[in-house]
Chains A and B, each alone.
Chain A
Amino acid sequence: MQRLRDLAISDTGFVFDPFSGATYTVNDTARCVLDGLKRGLHRDELVALLADRFETSGEDLSRDLDDLVHSLRLFGLVPGAFEVV
């Protein structure tokens, strides 16, 4: 998870990966999840964090989390076998 911890994330959602040189844009919810993942939070804690910070209306937060983690794996920001547990 070192790659994730090394990411520089700005308040505007600009992300720089010093390992690959790649840059990204994240929205506020994704920024929140990245912060949580860096701190090693588990699935239920991440879902609770999102539900606490944002006004939700019945979305499947757990499924959205998996979708984001799929992108992170694709970009090599988390190991290929990584799953939120």
Chain B
Amino acid sequence: MVAPLVVAVTGLNATDNPGPGVGVIRSLLHARDPGLRVVGLAYDAMEPGVYADGLVDDVFLIPYPSQGVEPLRERLAYIRRRVGFNVVIPTLDAELPAFVDLAPELAAQGVGTLLPTREQLDLRCKAKLAALGAQGLPVPASRVLTDVAGLYTIHEAFPYPIVVKGPYYGAKVAHTLDEAVHAFHAMAAQWGFPVIVQQFVAGQELCVLAVGDGRGGLVGAVQMRKTVITDKGKGWAGVAIRDEGLDALTATFMKASRWRGPCELEVIRDAAGGYHVLEVNPRFPAWCFLSAGAGMNLPFAVAELAAGRAPAALADYRVGTMFVRIALDQITDMAPFSSMSTAGEIVRSEGASR
């Protein structure tokens, strides 16, 4: 008899700019795997996913990645003793280096992960994306700048408008040199160097949720077009699509990077039918529940692979399946919040003793 999956998941910050954790957990629950239990890992007592009905069995605060690996290692060890878990799925960019570093020792303790290497993480960072262009991935023309002087000749490389991006987050479209200089200083002040300047490409915003096997192959992928976009540029509704161009592009990325685990490709399809990969996110996207809803449950497949199980062959997904996000008010009394803020945990399951 196979041990039941107990999966620890981060990213419960289901705000209007949501973390992927809630989507990952709903996908896991959707699989109705016997004995499956979910342990939520949160960074703040007020992360909404903590309070969602029937979502997590147990939930624990964990230290921020900026606190270093050691506090995280200790906290995970405590949680393992308290309620046990055999898979962990980190879902936030900033925590990935720490979890990647901890993966070997977690594995030695019987906790599985499906994560890229540090080198693969570096490869897809914004400043390096252009290098993937050399390996056959269509990326927009870009320049990595550490000095504003580089902007004065940018029009010789590609025409305005341009997108000025920070190294981790933030993007501004600039139509003139003046706007670009302003955006450059704003990005540098907020996010530091380098500043990435990218050719602006217009078209349909498409996303691919893909899971790589770490050997250049694809476990599975679901394609989606955003149909409602919020003022923050986040997809609020979308539809599963099938585009052979995206298939080819996904396969190229997997082959070039030998990616292990989940990732999201953000792609623009221009009016002429050309593709431009804007970004590669090294984790599940917030909309990943669409994959379960459309019949190809990639979060569950990742959990099974991480646990060392051979997952059942993935069925293809149903094109035309839609997701529509809604805002929902959860009602809770003070007790769970009190427990989270003073003890840093809510334990409902019988935990490891079960």
Chain B residues whose C-beta falls within 8 Å of the C-beta of A25 in the assembled complex: 341-342
**What per-residue 1/0 map shows which CB atoms of A3-38 lie under 8 Å from chain B?**
000000010111010000001010000000000000
Min CB gap B296→A, angstroms: 43
Which chain B residue has the least Cβ–Cβ distance from A13? B342
Chain B residues whose C-beta falls within 8 Å of the C-beta of A23 in the assembled complex: 334, 337-338, 341
Contact of A16 with B334 in the complex, beta carbons under 8 Å = yes
Q: How many residues of A contact B (CB 8 A)?
A: 7
Main secondary structure on B side of the interface with A: helix
**Cα distance A25–B338 when bound, in Å?**
9
**Cα distance A13–B341 when bound, in Å?**
10
Min CB gap A72→B, angstroms: 19
Contact of A12 with B342 in the complex, beta carbons under 8 Å = yes
Which chain A residue has the least Cβ–Cβ distance from B45? A23
Which chain B residue has the least Cβ–Cβ distance from A8? B334
**What per-residue 1/0 map shows which CB atoms of B332-346 lie under 8 Å from chain A?**
001001110111000
Chain A residues whose C-beta falls within 8 Å of the C-beta of B342 in the assembled complex: 10, 12-14, 25
Q: How many residues of B contact A (CB 8 A)?
A: 7
**Cα distance A23–B337 when bound, in Å?**
10
**Cα distance A25–B343 when bound, in Å?**
10
**Cα distance A13–B342 when bound, in Å?**
7
Which chain B residue has the least Cβ–Cβ distance from A12? B342
**Cα distance A16–B338 when bound, in Å?**
9
**What per-residue 1/0 map shows which CB atoms of B311-345 lie under 8 Å from chain A?**
00000000000000000000000100111011100
**Cα distance A14–B343 when bound, in Å?**
10
Which chain B residue has the least Cβ–Cβ distance from A14? B338
Most buried by B among A12, A13, A14, A16: A14
Which chain A residue has the least Cβ–Cβ distance from B340? A14
Min CB gap B332→A, angstroms: 13
Chain B residues whose C-beta falls within 8 Å of the C-beta of A14 in the assembled complex: 338, 341-342
Min CB gap B246→A, angstroms: 47
Chain B residues whose C-beta falls within 8 Å of the C-beta of A16 in the assembled complex: 334, 338
Chain B residues whose C-beta falls within 8 Å of the C-beta of A10 in the assembled complex: 338, 342
**Cα distance A85–B13 when bound, in Å?**
46
Chain B residues whose C-beta falls within 8 Å of the C-beta of A12 in the assembled complex: 338-339, 342-343
Chain A residues whose C-beta falls within 8 Å of the C-beta of B338 in the assembled complex: 10, 12, 14, 16, 23
Chain A residues whose C-beta falls within 8 Å of the C-beta of B341 in the assembled complex: 14, 23, 25
Min CB gap A11→B, angstroms: 9
Min CB gap B60→A, angstroms: 16
Most buried by A among B334, B337, B338: B338
**Cα distance A25–B342 when bound, in Å?**
7
**Cα distance A71–B343 when bound, in Å?**
23
Min CB gap A16→B, angstroms: 6
Can you list 18 residue pairs at the A/B interface with Cβ under 8 Å? Answer: A10-B338, A10-B342, A12-B338, A12-B339, A12-B342, A12-B343, A13-B342, A14-B338, A14-B341, A14-B342, A16-B334, A16-B338, A23-B334, A23-B337, A23-B338, A23-B341, A25-B341, A25-B342
B-to-A contact residues, CB < 8 Å: 334, 337-339, 341-343
The 10 closest A-B pairs by CB, nearest first: A14-B338, A12-B342, A14-B342, A13-B342, A25-B342, A16-B334, A10-B338, A14-B341, A25-B341, A12-B343
